[in-house]
Amino acid sequence: MPKDVASGEAIGKPSRTDGPAQGKVPDSLLRHLRACRNAVLPGRRTALRIGGAIAGWVTAGFAVVLRDQPAIVAGPDGLRLAAPELLPALARGLAEAGHFRWRGEAFDVRADPNGPALAQIDRGALPAFGIAAVGVHVNGLVEGPDGPLVWVARRAANKSLDPGKLDHLVAGGVPAGLSPAETLVKEAAEEAAIPAALAATARPVATIDYAMERPEGLRRDRVLAYDLVLPEGFRPRPADGEVESFDLWPLMRVVETVRRTDDFKFNVNLVLIDLFLRRGMIGGAEAGVLRAAL
């Protein structure tokens, strides 16, 4: 069973989808939780410490690369960063050497999601270093006369991660120096042209952790989910080129799409499943298993 054994309240929730009740419910939604929690930690990964805290988990191959870096001290218990201020330059050099793509956006590094920032690193380096990140995802809701509706975004075809996939109205990582609430307002303006005053009415509804093996590396993410109820007459519009289009779907259409397809970006499915549960769209044994798994 996948585990995350990093110190403190580590990001990367252990899987709880393999219990005996799993065979009694449909697999159509549970499969999304398994997909996002497929990482086994530590497994064969090496711990990367900043100070005395485990901040990341790296593959054996990447550990060999790091051992050759002056900023890294190797020891019997793994690797240690010689000084926190060396991490940005270390990541930049490794990006230039082709180990990952430079994104030009600094993220805080924490051993515990509620703890202090230990260092900063470029967003593109997070999966290679196995460092946790925090993101915000916003369910854009309209309370229509015939039932709830959900704004669905389609990611631009030129996105490096999951191009063309369906997505939330607003979603983005929390960069260094910003709070989740500030990030939400910023991303809402940039991605969907939502006024700040309207975006600020979003209500926090869930926190979802996962640790996932991806082609780009280890994703250890904490997703902060929000509901934003929008007026019937409001129409979001793509503002920064990251979204191709927005469409307003009945909630039941969203449920069936998540059940039957992989059209939504991988982590969006988890937030939507939480929404389905809160809106009473899933019942019986399946609802109980999904609540426990989330």
Q: Domains of the chain: which residue ranges?
A: 30-37+133-293, 46-129
How far is 221 from 50, CA to CA, in rounded Å? 19
- Where does the chain have alpha helices with state H? 30-36, 60-67, 87-96, 126-129, 180-192, 196-199, 251-260, 266-278, 284-293
The confidence band for 6, taking pLDDT boundaries of 50, 70 and 90, is very low
Write down the architecture of domain 30-37+133-293 according to CATH.
Alpha-Beta Complex (3.90)
Residues whose CB is less than 8 angstroms from the CB of residue 114 and which lie 6 or more positions away in sequence, other chains included: 9
Q: For the domain bounded by 46-129, which CATH number is listed?
A: 3.30.750.160
Q: What would the pLDDT profile of 26-37 be if each residue is shown by its tens digit?
A: 899 999 999 999
Asked whether the predicted pLDDT for residue 18 surpasses 50, the reply is no
Which amino acid makes up residue 237? R
The confidence band for 241, taking pLDDT boundaries of 50, 70 and 90, is confident
Strands 78-81 and 72-75: antiparallel
Q: What would the pLDDT profile of 50-89 be if each residue is shown by its tens digit?
A: 999 999 999 999 999 999 999 999 999 999 999 999 999 9
Q: What would the pLDDT profile of 244-279 be if each residue is shown by its tens digit?
A: 999 999 999 999 999 999 999 999 999 999 999 999
Per the listing, tokens 């994703």 go with 219
The confidence band for 160, taking pLDDT boundaries of 50, 70 and 90, is confident
Residues whose CB is less than 8 angstroms from the CB of residue 23 and which lie 6 or more positions away in sequence, other chains included: none
